[in-house]
């Protein structure tokens, strides 16, 4: 029986939280922007809080037999709750513009009839108008109207009283007013601080994006123009009969390598640009990881042969079925092997290994090349920094490989790690959780 009651509580509490979140976020849409959405939430909080307080007042006044006050409380409650309704209808300014003057008049009427200090709540109307309204002229008119109404009501209330409120009720109204005023000011300060932090974070991300773009453009201008310029130069020589077919055939080998490098850079650039615009959306499927790695090795054979590098493949005996995005994993393995080739010396060895740790699979690519400095190891995966380091044979790159690979790995419930020592080589590992 106790377990059933506990389970019911576990179900009910999240439902209540979800219900209140829905109310407080009524009318909130991403297209409105950060500042507008914060204002809409504030209107909802003011409407729900003020409406609930008015409801409680109506219950108390019903018990005391003050039915005129009950009518005023219910009208105030309806006006305040209606602000949430107007937000739902996307008429964001209409709710406060209608509600605040009506509430101001009702508060004034209550103070004139009962001399119960309710005129103090007109200061809340002034504060809320400054917080909730966008039109400066409407804010000014409503603030002046409420201030004048406060002065007139406070002066006339002792002389127009019909049913004098008790001193206890006057003190209670004043205390509640003070608490609500302080809460209103405190909440407004929190909103300003939160909005400022969001702006600072947005500015920081924008600055990072701008620096990345500037670095990327400079690298592209240097690394991608070279093969194109070489191609145009050779075609001009061939067109002017200044280059024989034999010479062109010999020179074309270098041109082909440059064109392949350009194609790889363009592929990496396009993938990176796509992830920046659309985000990485993995499409996981079950596939044999070993077969995929063998396909990547076959694709990279010309690069191995060019530098006479031997690949020690220690994963051939495995049969490993994983659930991940096949193309993402392909790109990661290709980048790790390409980097190992790039930073290995001629006639070196690269070791490809795999370790099954039960709930984690680790694929490692170890080279014995130039290695990575300790201070650089912390930055090579950073998405906000682009590092383009020439290889041992002066191979070029645009510096997007490891950053992009880390993004792909994280989207597939994994990550990349590196162990390296400058001058002795590096081991890059892809960790995938099953």
Q: Which two tokens stand for residue 402?
A: 């490891």
- Considering the domain architecture, whether residues 169 and 267 belong to the same structural domain is answered as no
Query: What is the chain's mean pLDDT, rounded?
Result: 79
* Of the listed ranges 2-11, 46-55, 100-109, 357-366, the one predicted with least confidence: 2-11
Give the residue from 201, 235, 265 where a domain finishes: 201
Q: Residue 425 — φ and ψ, nearest 5°?
A: 115, 180
- Considering the domain architecture, whether residues 149 and 49 belong to the same structural domain is answered as yes
- Considering the domain architecture, whether residues 251 and 304 belong to the same structural domain is answered as no
pLDDT at 124 over 90: no
The pTM of the full predicted model, rounded to 2 decimals, is 0.47
**Span 383-403, mean pLDDT?**
62
Structurally, the chain folds into a number of domains equal to 3
pLDDT at 99 over 50: yes
Tell me: the pLDDT tens digits for 303-314? 888 888 999 998
- Considering the domain architecture, whether residues 269 and 376 belong to the same structural domain is answered as no
**Span 100-112, mean pLDDT?**
86
Q: For residue 207, is it within any domain? A: no
Chain centroid to CA 247: 55
Tell me: the pLDDT tens digits for 135-166? 788 888 888 888 899 889 888 988 888 888 78
- Considering the domain architecture, whether residues 151 and 292 belong to the same structural domain is answered as no
- Considering the domain architecture, whether residues 173 and 241 belong to the same structural domain is answered as no
Q: For residue 32, is it within any domain? A: yes
Per the structure, the complete domain to which residue 92 belongs is given by 2-201
Query: Which one is predicted more confidently, 129 or 406?
Result: 406
Q: Taking every pair of C-alpha atoms in the chain, what is the biggest distance, in angstroms?
A: 113
Q: Which two tokens stand for residue 144?
A: 């002046």
In this prediction, residue 373 has a pLDDT band, given cuts at 50, 70 and 90, of confident
* Bridge partner list, 128: none
CB of 352 within 8 A of CB of 317? no
Q: For residue 210, is it within any domain? A: no
- Considering the domain architecture, whether residues 108 and 28 belong to the same structural domain is answered as yes
Q: What is the CATH number of the domain that holds 334?
A: 3.30.565.10
pLDDT at 349 over 90: yes
pLDDT at 48 over 80: yes
- Considering the domain architecture, whether residues 151 and 230 belong to the same structural domain is answered as no
How far is Cα 332 from Cα 361, in angstroms, rounded to an integer? 14
**If you search the block for the tokens 């592209």, which residue do you land on?**
220
How far is Cα 401 from Cα 417, in angstroms, rounded to an integer? 14
Q: For residue 422, is it within any domain? A: yes
Rg (CA), the chain: 35
Position 385 scores a pLDDT of 54
In this prediction, residue 398 has a pLDDT band, given cuts at 50, 70 and 90, of very low
Beta-carbon contacts of residue 38 (< 8 Å; ≥ 6 apart): 191, 194, 195
pLDDT at 4 over 50: no
- Considering the domain architecture, whether residues 97 and 159 belong to the same structural domain is answered as yes
Q: For residue 313, is it within any domain? A: yes
Q: For residue 213, is it within any domain? A: no
pLDDT at 11 over 80: no
Position 92 scores a pLDDT of 83
Residue burial 368-390, b: 16+ Cβ < 10 Å; e: rest = bbbbbeeeebeebbebeebbbee
Give the residue from 262, 279, 296 where a domain finishes: 279
Give the residue from 261, 279, 297 where a domain finishes: 279
- Considering the domain architecture, whether residues 34 and 111 belong to the same structural domain is answered as yes
- Considering the domain architecture, whether residues 334 and 422 belong to the same structural domain is answered as yes
- Considering the domain architecture, whether residues 291 and 174 belong to the same structural domain is answered as no
How far is Cα 177 from Cα 283, in angstroms, rounded to an integer? 56
**Span 389-394, mean pLDDT?**
68
């Amino acid at each position: 029986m106790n377990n059933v009651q506990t389970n019911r509580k576990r179900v009910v509490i999240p439902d209540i939280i979800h219900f209140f979140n829905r109310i407080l976020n009524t009318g909130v849409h991403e297209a409105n922007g950060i500042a507008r959405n914060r204002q809409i939430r504030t209107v909802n909080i003011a409407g729900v809080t003020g409406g609930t307080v008015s409801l409680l007042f109506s219950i108390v006044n019903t018990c005391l037999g003050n039915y005129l006050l009950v009518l005023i409380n219910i009208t105030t409650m309806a006006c305040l709750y209606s602000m949430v309704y107007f937000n739902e209808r996307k008429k964001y300014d209409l709710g406060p513009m209608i509600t605040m003057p009506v509430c101001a008049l009702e508060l004034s009427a209550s103070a004139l009839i009962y001399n119960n200090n309710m005129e103090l709540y007109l200061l809340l109307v002034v504060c809320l108008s400054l917080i909730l309204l966008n039109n400066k002229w409407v804010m000014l008119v409503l603030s002046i109207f409420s201030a004048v109404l406060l002065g007139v009501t406070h002066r006339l209330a002792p002389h127009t009283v019909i049913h004098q409120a008790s001193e206890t009720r006057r003190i209670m109204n004043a205390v509640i007013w003070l608490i609500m005023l302080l809460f209103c000011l405190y909440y407004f300060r929190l909103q300003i601080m939160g909005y400022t932090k969001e702006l600072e974070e947005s500015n920081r991300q924008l600055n990072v994006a701008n620096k990345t773009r500037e670095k990327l453009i400079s690298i592209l201008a240097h690394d991608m123009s070279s093969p194109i310029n070489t191609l145009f130069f050779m075609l001009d020589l061939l067109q002017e009969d200044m280059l024989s077919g034999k010479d062109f055939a010999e020179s074309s080998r270098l041109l082909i390598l440059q064109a392949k490098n350009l194609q790889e850079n363009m592929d990496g650039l396009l993938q990176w640009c796509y992830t920046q615009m659309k985000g990485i959306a993995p499409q996981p499927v079950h596939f044999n990881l070993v077969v995929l790695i063998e396909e990547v090795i076959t694709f990279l054979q010309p690069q191995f042969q060019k530098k006479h590098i031997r690949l020690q493949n220690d994963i051939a005996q495995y049969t490993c079925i994983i659930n991940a995005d096949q193309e993402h994993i392909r790109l990661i393995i290709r980048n790790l092997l390409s980097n190992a080739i790039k930073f290995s010396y001629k006639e070196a060895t690269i070791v490809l290994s795999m370790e099954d740790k039960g709930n984690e699979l680790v694929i490692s690519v170890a080279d014995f090349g130039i290695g990575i400095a300790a201070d650089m190891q912390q930055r090579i995966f950073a998405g906000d920094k682009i590092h383009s380091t020439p290889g041992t044979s002066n191979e070029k790159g645009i510096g997007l490989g490891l950053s992009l690979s880390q993004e792909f790995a994280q989207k597939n419930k994994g990550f990349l790690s590196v162990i390296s020592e400058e001058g002795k080589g590096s081991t890059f590992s892809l960790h995938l959780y099953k």
